[in-house]
Amino acid sequence: MTVLGPDDLDRPIRIAMPDLTRGAAALARLRITTAREALWYLPFRYDDFSDLRPLGELLPDEKQSARARVEAVRVEPGFGRRPQRVIVQLSDDTGSAEAIWFGRQFVERRLKAGDELIVSGKVTQRGWRSQFTSPEFSPVGRESVHTARVVPVYHLAAGVTQKRLRELLARILDAALPAVEDPLDENERGELPVLSEAMRTAHFPEDAGDVTGALDRLAFDELLALQITFAQARQARELLTAPRISVTDAQRNEIVDALPFTLTDDQASAVAAIGADLALERPMRRLLQGDVGSGKTAVAAVALASAVRAGWQGVLMAPTEILARQHHIGLSPLLDGLGVRAEFLSGSLSMTSKKQIHDAIAEGGAEVVIGTHAVISEAVEFPRLGLVIVDEQHRFGVGQRAALQAKGTGGEPHVLALTATPIPRTLALTVYGDLSISTIRELPPGRQPIRTEIRDRRALPKIEAFLTSEAAEGRQSFVVVPLVTESEALQVASVEAEAERLAAALPQLRIGVVHGQQKANARDETMSAFAAGEKDVLVATTVIEVGIDVPNASVILIEDAERFGLAQLHQLRGRVGRGAHRSFCILLSDSTDEVAQRRLEILRGSNDGFAIAEADLELRGAGNVLGTRQSGLPPLRVASLFEPRHLRLAERARTLADAVVADDPTMAQRPGLARLQADFALSEADGDAA
């Protein structure tokens, strides 16, 4: 048997383990080229076949194993569409059973009457007979990784079978595990198992009960790699220079006093934290999280005005043109009042207007630029870019950062990201581990709470009557159609069908339709008409999720609400209750699923985005705290952000990572930990985002 040394773990398998040449080719199809990659290729689930039973005591519909004698092997040839079947009669002292395989698996060649076998699989009761369907089997006395134990199940690729992969991984584990050194010392490890032990258990657990502990250990290593990456990114930032944007207290007060309202305490502390960051020579990377309508834009306005007062330019970028326009409309009066010139820039402007704005930016006349993310991709240079505010984009990509760096000439700009999807602290640690966070929890005074109700389709006529009576009062409604994830075209079809249905049912109402496939100006036109009160009902996809501000809208009806993430539902609900009118959110759902019902109940019971996120997190696996915005998350392979145990491990990983990186930024003394970053394909660049 091959035994590998530590250096062999990262050599190609075909070289380190020459007896596995053909196996190495199979593994390559799964992108496994080294033993270390093989060790980290973890099963996605397990089949527990450890329950070894006499044939007379087999349980129907359960996974289990039996030790039995082959009495007879019969092959029924296939014809037409019916596959060949191999049927094997089994017996032991307590009874008999049969095993059946379909298709040409050549099982018959490996079995003959008189063989003693262990079979493992799911048992079905067929009349009086117990039947194993396509079970795994192995001869008695020859230990097998496929039978009579907890058996790992891996993702496969063409040409590699589950059996083959299991056997290869078992051989590699035997050869490689003795060479695996634990990057953690005993103290750091605490109650978690030693790495090599955790790896063995994660692949081939002796007992199903050991799996959790083993996966926790591997998850910890992954979270640690991530936190080290974050810690290094934070440290690297210390070395970058950003413009020192400092305003006097008098200047800050003048700006704040120009707002048409008094800042809430949470807003005031966010303003103070941002002010302190901007005054440093190191680039700010701060996230401002707060519910829809909590007043983030007001905070952003203060930051932008401060940057301009100090002689710098600011940019505010929104994910859509509508949102960007709305920011421009909302911010302009405030900025105008302060003598700050804000320009709107978007890809859809005419060449001439774009050129004018580009010139104004280049000459420094445009002090604040508000637009879509096109702002940084446009061929435009900001002579004094000091602050970039990114609205509703969870992560600020490395590519964008590079683009920004190229825009600015005064060093790295400060970056403030705004998000209305607040997440609990433990989660934020992992998702935004490299950022400072400000949170607005308290809503501005005088808000009407939104009343939320859960209804099924039978209530539709009543709901439609309600939309009509609200319209008669001069109010407006949103109708959000079910989420169709399969295709954008289906989604559009469902929006249009629903709009037609409503138009037929409510001929007296003016109904508009918006969806993501419309031309931007067509969509803008409808949205603007709705905002101007020229439509009573806006039927929409989630394109209305972020942004649009129509204080006169008092009802949002969300169809098939159970299909949406809680955070997303909360966001959608935030489209109403923005004015002085009593507002309603109707969650339409015919789902009888208990978890789905419980999730909707959470929403009905709370208007607090944080409480909702926390409750969703509790319903682990069921909820999706981050809504649809998963794309920018760290690509975790073992750890789960929906597993409270792992979130606790993340905190522990954070503490350890900070300590290690503070002492030894390049991790020269801790090659094992540096190694982990490579194992999880994390690099400093991944962490250095805002």
Residues of the shown chain interacting with Mg ion in the complex, contacts defined by CB under 5 A? 297
Measured from the CB of residue 306, what is the shortest distance to ligand ADP in angstroms? 16
Over the range 645-679, which residues count as b (16 or more CB within 10 Å of their CB) and which as e? ebbebbebbbebbbebbeeeeebeebebbbbbbeb
d(CA 559, CA 258): 42
d(CA 599, CA 601): 5
Asked whether 647 and 157 are in contact (CB, 8 A), the reply is no
- Closest by CA to 517, choosing from 500, 486, 493, is 493
The tokens for 571 are 């966001």
Pick out residues in 130-169 that bind ligand ADP (CB under 6 A).
Answer: none
Query: Which partner, ligand ADP, Mg ion, none, binds residue 149 by CB below 5 to 8 Å per kind?
Result: none
Helices and strands (DSSP H and E) totals, the chain: 24, 21
Measured from the CB of residue 555, what is the shortest distance to ligand ADP in angstroms? 19
579 near ligand ADP, rule: CB under 6 A: no
Pick the closer one to ligand ADP by CB: 265 or 488. Answer: 265
Among 58, 165, 298, 368, binds ligand ADP (CB under 6 A): 298
- Closest by CA to 341, choosing from 377, 314, 303, 376, is 314
Backbone angles phi, psi at 254, to 5 degrees: -60, -40
Strand ranges in 436-525 using DSSP code E only, listed in sequence order = 436-440, 450-455, 476-480, 511-514
Pick the closer one to ligand ADP by CB: 361 or 613. Answer: 613
Question: Which stretch, 74-82, 188-196, 262-270, 667-675, contacts ligand ADP (CB under 6 A)?
Answer: 262-270
Measured between its terminal Cα atoms, the distance across the chain in Å is: 50
Contacts of residue 428, Cβ cutoff 8 Å, sequence gap at least 6: 287, 289, 437
Query: Which partner, Mg ion, ligand ADP, none, binds residue 517 by CB below 5 to 8 Å per kind?
Result: none
320 near ligand ADP, rule: CB under 6 A: no
Measured from the CB of residue 175, what is the shortest distance to Mg ion in angstroms? 57
Among 36, 217, 286, 296, binds ligand ADP (CB under 6 A): 296
Q: How far is CA 296 from the centre of its chain?
A: 23
Measured from the CB of residue 478, what is the shortest distance to ligand ADP in angstroms? 16
Measured from the CB of residue 369, what is the shortest distance to Mg ion in angstroms? 18
Pick out residues in 362-421 that bind ligand ADP (CB under 6 A).
Answer: 420
Residue at shortest CB range from Mg ion:
297
Among 264, 568, 571, 583, binds ligand ADP (CB under 6 A): 264
Question: Which stretch, 52-60, 287-295, 362-370, 405-413, contacts ligand ADP (CB under 6 A)?
Answer: 287-295
In what helix (H) or strand (E) does residue 372 lie, and over which residues does it extend?
strand 368-372
Q: How many residues bind ligand ADP (CB under 6 A)?
A: 15
439 near ligand ADP, rule: CB under 6 A: no
Question: Which stretch, 20-28, 122-130, 294-302, 635-643, contacts ligand ADP (CB under 6 A)?
Answer: 294-302
Among 232, 267, 452, 542, binds ligand ADP (CB under 6 A): 267
Measured from the CB of residue 446, what is the shortest distance to ligand ADP in angstroms? 7
294 near ligand ADP, rule: CB under 6 A: yes
Pick the closer one to ligand ADP by CB: 48 or 254. Answer: 254
Among 152, 290, 386, 424, binds ligand ADP (CB under 6 A): 290
Among 292, 316, 387, 639, binds ligand ADP (CB under 6 A): 292
Which ranges of 89-245 would DSSP assign to H, the alpha helix? 162-176, 186-189, 195-203, 211-238
| C-alpha dist (Å) from residue 86 to 29, 103, 120, 135, 657 | 30, 8, 16, 12, 56
Measured from the CB of residue 449, what is the shortest distance to ligand ADP in angstroms? 15
Measured from the CB of residue 454, what is the shortest distance to ligand ADP in angstroms? 25
Instruction: Using alpha carbons only, give the angle 309, 315, 318 rounded to the nearest 5 degrees.
Output: 140
Question: Which stretch, 21-29, 67-75, 222-230, 289-297, contacts ligand ADP (CB under 6 A)?
Answer: 289-297
Measured from the CB of residue 373, what is the shortest distance to ligand ADP in angstroms? 18
Pick out residues in 444-503 that bind ligand ADP (CB under 6 A).
Answer: 444
The tokens for 57 are 């005591």
What's the farthest any 2 CA atoms get from each other in the chain? 95
Asked whether 477 and 470 are in contact (CB, 8 A), the reply is yes
Among 275, 293, 311, 347, binds ligand ADP (CB under 6 A): 293
Measured from the CB of residue 422, what is the shortest distance to ligand ADP in angstroms? 10
Pick the closer one to ligand ADP by CB: 571 or 677. Answer: 571
The tokens for 274 are 């941002």
Identify the three-state secondary structure at position 650. Answer: helix
Pick the closer one to ligand ADP by CB: 443 or 660. Answer: 443
- Closest by CA to 235, choosing from 439, 433, 425, is 433
Contacts of residue 270, Cβ cutoff 8 Å, sequence gap at least 6: 288, 299, 438, 439, 440
Pick out residues in 17-76 that bind ligand ADP (CB under 6 A).
Answer: none
- Closest by CA to 224, choosing from 667, 663, 686, 655, is 655
Pick the closer one to ligand ADP by CB: 316 or 376. Answer: 316
243 near ligand ADP, rule: CB under 6 A: no
Over the range 38-61, which residues count as b (16 or more CB within 10 Å of their CB) and which as e? bbbbbbeebbbbbeebebeebeee
Identify the three-state secondary structure at position 415. Answer: strand
- Which residues of this chain interact with ligand ADP, rule CB under 6 A? 261-264, 267, 290, 292-298, 420, 444
